[in-house]
Amino acid sequence: MKIAPSILSADFANLQRDIKIVEDAGAEYLHLDVMDGHFVPNLSFGVPLIKALRPNSSLIFDCHLMVSRPEDYISPLAEAGVQIIGVHYEATPHIYRMVQLIHQAGCKAEVVLNPGTPISVLQELLPVVDAVLIMTVNPGFGGQKFIPETLDKIAQLATLKKAQGLTFEIEVDGGIDEKTSVLCQARGATVAVAGSFVFESQSPAAQVKLLHKVTGE
Ligand SMILES: O=C(CO)[C@H](O)[C@H](O)COP(=O)(O)O
Ligand SMILES: [Fe+2]
């Protein structure tokens, strides 16, 4: 699997250092959780921070928007150098338009589903998205326990992907560790987001390498 460390659990006073550690350890993406304190009951960081981090890393910046007005963030994120923008299905009545706006901004479009939202809502979107992010915890906070019922959703999505001959990435986010990543991969997930498992450890580099090892890359 591709590994996407989430800086939500990194040392905010030493972000540049922590990002370099996971980049040197072979991570493919950097997962950026933007929260507005409205769509989710927590605040994190926004575009200015992402813009400041961009020149110091070659990682693919993958932004997970947990905000109530995602349309306001798409152009600023693209201008800040983010390559993948993820919008929650639950955050907008106009998810198809969000995908179009993301593509018009020159980025890859990812649709994100909360644990309680079924895969069936993606039917019309699957041919046009570059990635689907399945939340494996409720969004808003790092360090939560993986919800096992989400495994079946990953399998359902992977079945649709195969049946339709599509190539979008299947990302999983929340409670990912050396065990849950393997369970998700077995159902068809291709990208593992991991925050606390990577950064709340003695060696974030060793954790990235361990996730690659157990998921066969
Ligand atoms: O989107 C998120 C929270 O809403 C984070 O990406 C996710 O929770 C990562 O943290 P952890 O790996 O510690 O669960
Ligand atoms: Fe996230």
What are the structural domain ranges in the chain?
Answer: 2-214
The predicted structure's pLDDT at residue 217: 67
Beta carbons of 44 and 14 less than 8 angstroms apart: no
Residue environment code for 9-32, b if the CB has 16+ CB neighbours within 10 A, otherwise e: bbeeeebeebbebbbebebbbbbb
Question: pTM for the full model?
Answer: 0.98
Does residue 5 line the site of ligand 1, with CB under 6 A? no
Dist. CA 143–CA 67, nearest whole Å: 20
Q: Which of 136, 137, 201 to probe ligand 1 with, by most ligand atoms within 8 A of CB?
A: 137
**Residue 176 and residue 196: Cα distance in Å, rounded?**
9
The fold for domain 2-214 equals TIM Barrel (3.20.20)
**Contact status, residue 48 vs residue 22, Cβ threshold 8 Å:** no
Output the tens digit of pLDDT for each of the chain's 217 residues. 999 999 999 999 999 999 999 999 999 999 999 999 999 999 999 999 999 999 999 999 999 999 999 999 999 999 999 999 999 999 999 999 999 999 999 999 999 999 999 999 999 999 999 999 999 999 999 999 999 999 999 999 999 999 999 999 999 999 999 999 999 999 999 999 999 999 999 999 999 999 999 998 6
The rounded distance, in Å, linking the Cα atoms of 167 and 115 is: 23
* Residues whose Cβ atom is located within 5 A of ion ligand 2: 33, 64, 173
Between CA 111 and CA 23 the distance in angstroms is: 25
Residue type, 22: V
Which of 35, 85, 144 most suits a substitution to test ligand 1, by most atoms within 8 Å of the C-beta?
A: 144
- Please classify residue 67 by burial: count the beta carbons closer than 10 Å to its beta carbon, then call 0-12 exposed, 13-18 middle and 19+ buried: buried
- 126: which residues sit within 8 A by CB, 6+ positions away? 132, 160, 161, 164, 166, 168
Which residues are marked as active site? 33, 173
Is residue 196 within 6 Å of ligand 1 at its C-beta? yes
Taking the C-alpha atoms of residue 4 and residue 140, their distance in angstroms, rounded to an integer, is: 17
- d(CA 201, CA 207) in angstroms, rounded, equals 8
Show Cβ contacts of residue 69 under 8 Å, excluding neighbours closer than 6 positions: none
Continuous segment of H or E residues that includes residue 183:
helix 180-187
Complex-level ipTM beyond the 0.85 threshold: yes
94 labelled ligand-binding? no
